[in-house]
Chains A and B, each alone.
Chain A
Amino acid sequence: MPKIPTQEELEQRKRVQINAETVTNAQSNDFPHHWPGEDHSWNLDYFKSQFRVKFEKNERYDAEFSLIGLDTSVANAFRRILIAEIPTLAIETVFINQNTSIIADEVLAHRMGLVPLTASRKGLDWMSWYREPTEEDRGSGQPMDYNACQLRLEAACTWLDDDAINRANRGETDPNKLYKNHSIYAKDLVWVPSGQQNDKFEEPLRPTNPDILLVKMRPGQKIELFVQAIKGIGQDHAKFSPVATASYRLMPTIDITKPILGQDAKKFARCFPKGVIELEKVTEEEASEKKELEGKEGELKAVVKNPMRDTVSRECLRHPEFKDKVKLGRVRDHFIFKVESTGQWDSDLLFLESVKLLKVKCERVKRGLDAMMG
């Protein structure tokens, strides 16, 4: 007969304890043969009953959500897939016809590569992979409308008017008052749709952030180039990574074991970021129930309001008056994900895509195992 631990004990088991100088109980222990007499074999129905997803924020380019009840290995797999394996479009080749600016060609090309692009999801899904031809392999051949997008950048800096040069000689230094086109931004990259791209892309391909400064120029300098953007993954180069941030942290916990009152409560609240600890008046009911609160009704008491916002700085453990009154920790199976898209995917879709990719990988392993056994 398997032993069934109480809910409270289960909670304690998955609590990472954060002490003044050490972190303990960090490893997971919900696997078979760890707890004598208990069955911890993995079970889909049990997982389904325990697993929860909670969205804290879901904006297009910024999502924050909690995954509760899964193992670190899985959560980390999602994070790594988000960063390195979801395909996006990025500038790969730069053809420079003219560049007399002070930025060297290769530096300029590198800069252009890092500019995040955006377009309609449908068009990006339709794009296929481009493989560069080598001597022994012809790759995917010439870049075509279905595997490469072309953008143009043409700019020349001039004096603003005939008198500008005289103003410069007189000591004027504000470039806005002297030159035309003195700063070239990402928005100056213009998409040149070709072939089927005209129908497949509902929204034009463009840099996500129009105001990224690419080059500064002075009169007489000129840039004339076109670039090819292809699909790639973050493993190949960071410019293909679809996320600016994809990270998780564990849910912090703050347990106040003995009441913290009055001035101490105010000082305690200051040990945490705003909104984590709040002050409440001790009610009559509490005062009559708890021995420590006897005769303290009306006094201010520290209460934990929003532990999620805590940075777990452990500041409160440095003060001797709080040392024995508070316990800090983290919940080992509560992952607070933060996903910030660079513009080609919606942040929530990105996560779903990472789930899809992990599934595909698992199926590949399964097929491999089947082939090995049978």
Chain B
Amino acid sequence: MSSQNYSYNPSGQQASAPVTAESGRSVEYTCGDCDASVQLKRGEPIRCRNCGHRVLYKQRTNRMVQFEAR
């Protein structure tokens, strides 16, 4: 299989913040039902503001991943 390494993004452009950091930061999720994006802060109920669905998906990291094209 191809080798890969999860390297740190040196340009550092909008690397997503860790979820547990400062309580003021909000994290974006995607609703499992209506596909809307949901901003959640720490301690908020896990619920879509648009449709009330209780399943939210975490989004993929913005960090760069390096692959060998082999």
Q: Mark A104-123, 1 if CB is under 8 A from B, else 0.
A: 01100110111000000000
Q: What size tier do the contact residues of chain B reach? A: 10 to 19
B10 to chain A minimum Cβ distance, whole angstroms, is 11
Q: Is the CB of A106 within 8 A of B62?
A: no
Q: Is A237 an interface residue (CB 8 A)?
A: yes
Q: Which residues of A contact B69 (CB under 8 A)?
A: 90-94, 109-110, 112-114, 227, 239
B2 to chain A minimum Cβ distance, whole angstroms, is 5
Q: Is B23 an interface residue (CB 8 A)?
A: no
| Neighbour of B2 across the interface among A90, A91, A106, CB < 8 A | A106
Q: Is the CB of A95 within 8 A of B65?
A: yes
Q: Which residues of B contact A220 (CB under 8 A)?
A: 35
Which of B2, B63, B64, B68 has the largest count of A CB atoms less than 10 A from its CB? B68
Q: Is the CB of A95 within 8 A of B68?
A: no
B24 to chain A minimum Cβ distance, whole angstroms, is 25
Q: Which residues of A contact B64 (CB under 8 A)?
A: 95-97
A109 vs B65: C-alpha distance in the bound complex, in angstroms? 11
Q: What size tier do the contact residues of chain A reach? A: 20 to 34
Given contacts A98-B60, A106-B2, A106-B4, contact A113 B70 (CB under 8 A): yes
| Neighbour of A93 across the interface among B35, B62, B63, B66, CB < 8 A | B66
Given contacts A110-B2, A220-B35, contact A105 B62 (CB under 8 A): no
Which of A92, A98, A100, A112 has the largest count of B CB atoms less than 10 A from its CB? A98
Instruction: State the majority secondary structure of interface residues on B.
Output: loop
Q: Is the CB of B60 within 8 A of A93?
A: no
B32 to chain A minimum Cβ distance, whole angstroms, is 13
Q: Which residues of B contact A90 (CB under 8 A)?
A: 69
A100 vs B66: C-alpha distance in the bound complex, in angstroms? 16
Q: Is the CB of B67 within 8 A of A109?
A: yes
Q: Is B1 an interface residue (CB 8 A)?
A: yes
Q: Is the CB of B70 within 8 A of A96?
A: no
Q: Is the CB of A109 within 8 A of B62?
A: no
Given contacts A106-B1, A109-B2, A110-B2, contact A98 B67 (CB under 8 A): no
A129 to chain B minimum Cβ distance, whole angstroms, is 17
| Neighbour of A96 across the interface among B1, B35, B65, CB < 8 A | B65
Q: Is the CB of A94 within 8 A of B70?
A: no
Q: Mark B48-69, 1 if CB is under 8 A from A, else 0.
A: 0000000000001011111111
Q: Mark B11-30, 1 if CB is under 8 A from A, else 0.
A: 00000000000000000000
Q: Is the CB of A95 within 8 A of B2?
A: no
| Neighbour of A105 across the interface among B63, B67, B70, CB < 8 A | B67
A93 vs B66: C-alpha distance in the bound complex, in angstroms? 7
Q: Which residues of A contact B9 (CB under 8 A)?
A: 97
A90 vs B66: C-alpha distance in the bound complex, in angstroms? 16
Residue of B nearest to A113 (CB): B69
Q: Which residues of A contact B66 (CB under 8 A)?
A: 93-96
| Neighbour of A106 across the interface among B60, B63, B67, CB < 8 A | B67
B30 to chain A minimum Cβ distance, whole angstroms, is 8
Q: Is the CB of A96 within 8 A of B62?
A: no
Q: Which residues of A contact B67 (CB under 8 A)?
A: 93-96, 105-106, 109
A220 vs B63: C-alpha distance in the bound complex, in angstroms? 19
Binding site for B on A (CB under 8 A): 90-100, 105-106, 109-110, 112-114, 220, 227, 237, 239
Please list 5 pairs of residues, one from A and one from B, whose beta carbons are closer than 8 Å in the complex, sorted by A's number. A95-B64, A97-B63, A98-B60, A106-B1, A227-B69
